[in-house]
Structure 1
Amino acid sequence: MSGADTTRVLEELDSLAGDASTADFVFLFYGQGHDDTAIADFVRRRLSTAAVVGGTSCSGVMTADGLAGPDSIGMLTVADPDGAYGAASAPLGDDPAAAAEVALNAALDAADCSGELPELVWVFQPPGQEEAVIEGLRRIVGDRCPILGGSSADDDVSGRWRQLGPDGPLVDHVVVGVLFSSGGIGVAFQGGYEPTGASGVVTALGRTSDDGGSSATLDGRHILEIDGEPAVDVYNRWLGDTLDHNVVASGGNILEATTLSPLAVDAGKIDEVAHFRLIHPAAVTPKGGLTTFASVDVGTRLYGMRGDRERLVRRVGKVAAAAAASTSVSEAAGALIVYCGGCLLAVGDDAGQVARTAAESLAGAPLLGCFTFGEQGMLLGQNVHANLMISAIVFGR
C-alpha cells in the first residue's frame, strides 16, 4: 500500500493481509518518509506474537502488481504453526560481529530453538559493517545454513535508513531472524553481470585512520592500487576512459557512473559457469584510490564487469525461479525478493518490469520486494556480503 499517512496505510495493509495477528513471521518494509512511531505502534498492537523483521527500502517496495512508490509499505506474513520462528536485534556498537552473535542467539531463544541450526538466517543492518556482521553470524552457524538479507536503504544515500525488529524501528542495529519452516524454504542469490575480460590484482589498501599510523588497520573498502598503479587509473582504463576527468584527477562520487560497470571477485564455478561476488565502487579518493561498498584483501584478483537494463530485469525472474525450484519447495506459497537499490535506479523506466518478471516466475504466489544498499547471501556454499545482487526466499506450503 502507498500513501504519506503512515497510520492509514498500515490500516489498509492490515485489512488486505487478513488477520495479521496470527502470523508467525512477518517481513515489513517501507519508504524512508514513514513515521517510525506509527510503525512501532502497529507492530506492538497487531504483530505482538510474530517474529518481525524489516526496515526502510529504497524508493518503497514492490509486489506482484508492480512498484508501489516511495511512500509505500509492504508486508509479507507467514502463518506456520508447525514451524518455529524468532527475531531479535542488537545495537552494532564498536563490535558488529559480537552484536550479530548476540542477536542470533536471542532470535534462536525467541524461537525456542537455542542451539539448533535454522533452515535460514535472515539479517538486516545499515550499510558499512556487513562483513563483520556476517563473521559474527558464521561463528554460530558457519556455512551450514544460508544467511540471507540486505542493508537498509533510503532514497538518496543520505543516511535516513532504519532497521525494523520486534520492538519497532531502529537505527544502527542488526536485526536477525531465524526460520524453521514446516513447508520448506528455497533460496537463491545471484548477480546480473558478466565479465569484460579485464582483471588485475589488488596491491595496496588504505588504512582506517587518516594518519596511517601503526594503530590503523587495512581498510578493505579502500583500494589504493591495482597491479601497482593507482586504482582509479586502472579501473578507468577498463571502462574506456569514461569516468569524469575532474573526478579522476581530484576525487569524487562515481556511484551512479559505475552501477553498470562494477568490480567483482571470482567466487568459483558451477557446471563450468563462473559466479562472481560483485563490488560497487562508490567514490574516487584524492590520491587515486577507490572506495567501495564491499571489502577485498591485498592479493585479491578483481574483474571488470558489465551489465545492462535488460539483463538486470531478466535476472530477477531467474533468481525467483531458481529459489522456487528448490527441492525443499513443492509449491510456492509466497516469496520475498531482495533487489539492489542501485540496480533499481539503473533500470530506470524499466523498473516496473522487475516486479512483473519476478511475479511471472512465481506463478501467482504472493510476493514482496525490498530494495537494499548491500546484499547478503550464500555463494557456492559460503555466506558472503556483496553489492548489486538479487536474492529470493520462496516459502513452500
Structure 2
Amino acid sequence: MTTLQSFAVTGDTTAQAIANLAHAVGEAPTGAHFVCVFYDAEHEDDAIFDFLRARFERAAILGGTSCNGVMSQNGLAGSRSIGLLVLDDPLGNYGTAATQLHGDAADCAERTLHAALENADCAGELPELIWVYQTPGQEEAVIEGLRRVVGDRCPIIGGSSADNDVGGQWRQMGPDGVIHDGLVVGVLFSSGGIGFAFQGGYEPSGESGIVTRIGYDPVGDSGVVTQSCGRQIISIDGEPAAEVYNRWIGGALEDKLESGGNILANTTMHPVGIDVGKIEGITSYLLIHPDKILADGALSTFASIEEGTRLYSMKGERTRLISRAGKVAAAAAAMLPGGESSLAGGLVVYCGGCMLAVGEEMPRVARAVTENFQGKPFLGCFTFGEQGAILGKNAHGNLMISAVAFGE
C-alpha cells in the first residue's frame, strides 16, 4: 500500500525552518522510498540535504528551488518555506540520479535516466512515470534524451527550477546533494498506480500566424546549424515577430519595440500557443511565454518553436488561473487505475509566472487543489518551465500546470 505525507514549514533562517520541519515530520516513516523537496531559493541547500539524508537514509531524493516557496494541503506556505512529500511504498520501486547539463544535454539526460533506473533496481525496465527537475534552458533537449530510452510510452512530468526574481539563483537537489545547472531524474514504479494531467489556463484571443523564421541554435563554437527550432522568433508571416505580437495583444509593447528588453511582466496574461490536438472535441494548446524583445524586432521565448509552426495568440484571466489548478488535480486523480477513490495524494507543478500574476489570490489556488485532491496530502512547487504529457506526447511548455496523483 502506498502512503503519502506532506509537510510545509517556514523560517526566517534555514536553521529555524529545518527545526520546524523536524518537529512537523515527527515520527514519519524513516524508511520512506521517495522524498520530494522544494524550497525558497533564499534557503541553504546543504543544510536541507543533510537533514533529509539523516532523516530518510534510504529514500530516493529529488527536488530543488521553487519561486517564493511551496503550497500544500494546508495552504500556501509562501516565502522562506520548505516543503516535503514523503512517499512510502514497500511494493514499489523508486530511484533518482542527477548530473550537470554540460555538453550535449540529450546525452546527459539519457545517461541520467539509465542511472536512475539502476538506482531503482529496475535497469532496462519501463517506469510508470519519469519525474524531472532541471535548470531552465535545455528542456527540449532533456526530453529528447529521455525519449531515446522510453519514447512516449510513459509520461515525463516535472518542472524547471526557479528563484524569486529570475536572477538565475535556481538549484536542483538529487541523491548526492545540491547541483547547479543540472538535471535530476526520478523513475517511479508505483504499486498503487499513477494518474497525471498537463494543462494551461488560457484560451485563444483570435489572432494567429505562421513562424517564418527562427533563430537557430548552433552547437559548440562551430556555428553550424544542427536543428530547425530555437527560442528566438525572428518573423511571423514575414514581419518582425515583436511587431506582430504587439498587434495581437493590443499594442501593450509599443514603448518597447525600439528599445527592446524584458517583457515578462507584460506578457504573462498574453502567451502564444501551439495547437496540439483535441481532447473530447476541445482544442488543447501548449503555451509558450515571450520574455524579451531582441534586436531587429525578434522575440525571445522560454520554449523552443519550430519554423513553420502556426502560433495562436492566447489570453488569460486570474480567475481561470486560480480554478485551473484544481481541475488539473481532478483530472490526474480520475486517471488512477482504481479511480479517484483510491487517491493517496499527489504532486503539483504550477508555473511561477502564473503564481506571480495571481499574487494575493494564491491561497485560493492551494484550496482548489486541496478540494480536488479530497484533502489528501500534496506538495506544489512554482517553476520557470513545465514538463508533461499531452495527447500521448511528452513536451515542455510555459505557464502550464502539471499534476501527478498516486494511488493507494
Percent of matched pairs sharing the same residue: 57
Q: How does 1:331-342 map to 2 (within 5 A)?
A: 331-342=342-353
RMSD of Structure 2 on Structure 1 (CA): 1.5
Gap change, CA 1:213 and 1:144, over 3 Å in 2 = closer
Q: Which residue of 1 aligns with 2:328?
A: 319
Which secondary structure does the structure 2 equivalent of 1:295 belong to?
strand
One-letter amino acid matched to 1:7: A
Which secondary structure does the structure 1 equivalent of 2:312 belong to?
strand
Asked if 1:236 is matched to 2:246, the reply is yes
Asked if 1:206 is matched to 2:215, the reply is yes
2:106 to 89, 97, 107: 97
Q: Report the more deviating stretch, 150-159 or 341-350.
A: 341-350
Deviations 1:39-91 (A, max 9, x none): 22113212220011000000100112221121000000100010000000011
Q: Which residue of 1 aligns with 2:63?
A: 54
Shift of 1:14: 3.2
Q: Which residue of 1 aligns with 2:231?
A: 221
Q: How does 1:190-339 map to 2 (within 5 A)?
A: 190-208=199-217, 215-216=224-225, 220-243=230-253, 245-330=254-339, 331-339=342-350
Structure 1 gaps, min length 5: none
Shift of 1:4: 2.5
Q: Which residue of 1 aligns with 2:125?
A: 116
One-letter amino acid matched to 1:187: F
Deviations 1:84-115 (A, max 9, x none): 00000011101111111111101000010000
Which secondary structure does the structure 2 equivalent of 1:322 belong to?
helix
Q: Which residue of 2 aligns with 1:174?
A: 183
Shift of 1:333: 1.0
Shift of 1:270: 1.5
CA contact (8 A) 1:120 1:146 kept: yes
Q: For 1:250 and 1:8, locate their aligned partners in 2 and report how far apart those are by CA, in whole Å.
A: 45
Asked if 1:65 is matched to 2:50, the reply is no
One-letter amino acid matched to 1:93: H
One-letter amino acid matched to 2:224: S
Q: For 2:29 and 2:79, locate their aligned partners in 1 and report how far apart those are by CA, in whole Å.
A: 23
CA contact (8 A) 2:328 2:401 kept: yes
Please identify runs of 4+ aligned residues in structure 1 that moved more than 4 A: 216-219
Asked if 1:148 is matched to 2:157, the reply is yes
Q: Which residue of 2 aligns with 1:8?
A: 16
Shift of 1:220: 1.1
Which secondary structure does the structure 2 equivalent of 1:221 belong to?
strand
**What is the aligned residue count?**
394
Q: For 1:231 and 1:264, locate their aligned partners in 2 and report how far apart those are by CA, in whole Å.
A: 14
Structure 2 gaps, min length 5: 1-8
CA contact (8 A) 2:132 2:157 kept: yes
Gap change, CA 1:337 and 1:53, over 3 Å in 2 = same
CA contact (8 A) 1:186 1:329 kept: no
Shift of 1:329: 4.1
Deviations 1:368-387 (A, max 9, x none): 11000000000100000000
2:355 to 344, 355, 358: 344
Deviations 1:168-206 (A, max 9, x none): 111111100000000111111100000111100000112
Which secondary structure does the structure 1 equivalent of 2:17 belong to?
helix
Gap change, CA 1:19 and 1:213, over 3 Å in 2 = closer
CA contact (8 A) 2:336 2:343 kept: no
Gap change, CA 1:237 and 1:359, over 3 Å in 2 = same
Q: Compute the TM-score of the two structures, normalised by the length of structure 2.
A: 0.94
CA contact (8 A) 2:263 2:290 kept: yes
